[in-house]
A and B are shown apart, each in its own frame.
Chain A
Amino acid sequence: MADTATNVENKTEDGESRRDFLLLATSAVGAAGVAGAIWPFVDSMNPAADVLALSTTEVDISQIEEGQSVTVVWRGKPVFVRHRNAEEIEQAAKDDSASLVDVQKDADRVQKPEWLILIGVCTHLGCVPLGQKPGDPRGDFGGWFCPCHGSHYDTSGRIRKGPAPLNLAVPPYEFLDDEHVKIG
């Protein structure tokens, strides 16, 4: 009987530490499993393949004449594609030294000076500024005018007057050739 008692004691001590390690190891593996199981569910909320496929928009700019503007949709938002004339380009460069709310050089906002591509969403509260169509008010600086709260943008799409804090955003884009631009 005494033998059994000592055996039990020894087993308990050794057994316990072995059990603790096994418990720790199993818990760790289990936790890894849970994390691995959660990931697909979280990832399923990321943009799906068809949404990603539409994350770029190709625009044919060959038909846009000088002084003309076109609005395209990119990721559900309006994008202004403007073929600037010499006057507008000159004015934009000149205004580099004007007092700007959001300081930025025109040259930093375009890849080719005659093509101005902007996200047509006012940086104040999100309305779509006017100025794309002939006859639209262009505001005091020859660019765009937001009718919601009176923000004025210049020929480089920079905020000059009104409540908007930032210049109209420039989306990522690249020229595929002289006639096509890929936005996004």
Chain B
Amino acid sequence: MRKLFIAAVAALTLSAGAAQASGGAYVPELKDVNWSFEGFFGQYDQKQLRRGFQIYNEVCSACHSLRLVSYRNLSALGFTEDEIKEIAAEKSIRLPHGDAGALLNDDGEFFTREAKPSDKFVSPFPNDAAAIDANGALPPDLSLIAKARLGGPQYLYSFLTGYMEEVPEEVMHQKGFILNEDKNFNVYFPGYYTSMPPQIMDEMVEYEDGTEATAAQHAEDIVAFLNWAAEPELDERKSLGLKVMLFLLVLTAMLYALKRKIWADVKH
């Protein structure tokens, strides 16, 4: 009896989880990538993170901010203090005023200073309005994108590699679907049309570590980097988790043994 009900509950919960919250719109299954950081023992691949950072720095950062990550966080990717100083110094931070209190300098521009390791990543645009003006739509900040989208890294990877020349049959025949020539079709994107044109292509970036620069490799690397940006604590979280769980296993076993001992002579 009990097993039947547990099975029923399990079935319901599983079906609830599998169903997409897209109101019935067709979405193909997300592409499956084996991430180094997924699973019980998952950890980031530092080399991959560096490649991913290279892509962010050379491609994505033109439009997308990463405002919750600090330059000093890059030490997790294996960069030295001096390398980080250099990376940060490439960007300028706008100052609210100069030393004498003027808002603008003699050239009529804002006062700036070089970014330091303690600064957060500098955004490509000074504010949202400027970003929309330059791009037509607001490119979202990427600091949390891996956690802010259903499907996480699988979704990001599918999205980046999911642009198609032609709209597939299943989508064409959906009730209410309208072709949109102005935007970019992406079968994974909710609503199918995104303002961002396809970005990932073969040999887009020449990797410093010499890894083969295929589009798929780029996509994997940038997504891994974005996951790190969203979950920099992952390595420590999972390894601490193992220690804690092992400890609890031992303690709980001892508590059980003690319970049995104490209850040994009690009829219940």
Q: Contact residues of A with B, CB < 8 Å?
A: 8, 15, 18-19, 22-23, 25-26, 29-30, 33, 36, 49-50, 53-54
Q: Is the CB of B251 within 8 A of A25?
A: no
**Which applies to chain B's interface (DSSP): helix, strand, loop or mixed?**
helix
Q: Distance in Å from the Cβ of B86 to the closest Cβ of chain A?
A: 15
Q: Distance in Å from the Cβ of B141 to the closest Cβ of chain A?
A: 18
Number of B residues whose C-beta is below 8 Å from A?
A: 16
Q: Is the CB of A54 within 8 A of B118?
A: yes
Q: B265 — which chain A residues lie within 8 A by C-beta?
A: 8
Expressed in whole angstroms, the Cα–Cα distance for A15 and B250 within the complex equals 21
A-B contact pairs, 10 of them (CB 8 A): A8-B265, A15-B261, A19-B258, A19-B262, A22-B261, A26-B251, A26-B254, A26-B258, A53-B72, A54-B118
Expressed in whole angstroms, the Cα–Cα distance for A23 and B118 within the complex equals 50
Q: Distance in Å from the Cβ of A153 to the closest Cβ of chain B?
A: 27
Besides A33-B247, A53-B118, 16 other A-B contacts (C-beta < 8 A): A19-B261, A19-B262, A22-B254, A22-B258, A25-B254, A26-B255, A26-B258, A29-B250, A29-B254, A30-B251, A30-B255, A49-B72, A50-B118, A53-B70, A53-B72, A53-B117
> 4 closest A-B pairs (Cβ-Cβ)?
A53-B118, A26-B254, A19-B261, A26-B258
Q: Distance in Å from the Cβ of A113 to the closest Cβ of chain B?
A: 28
Q: Distance in Å from the Cβ of A69 to the closest Cβ of chain B?
A: 15
Expressed in whole angstroms, the Cα–Cα distance for A23 and B247 within the complex equals 17
Q: Is the CB of B70 within 8 A of A23?
A: no
Q: A36 — which chain B residues lie within 8 A by C-beta?
A: 247
Q: B250 — which chain A residues lie within 8 A by C-beta?
A: 29
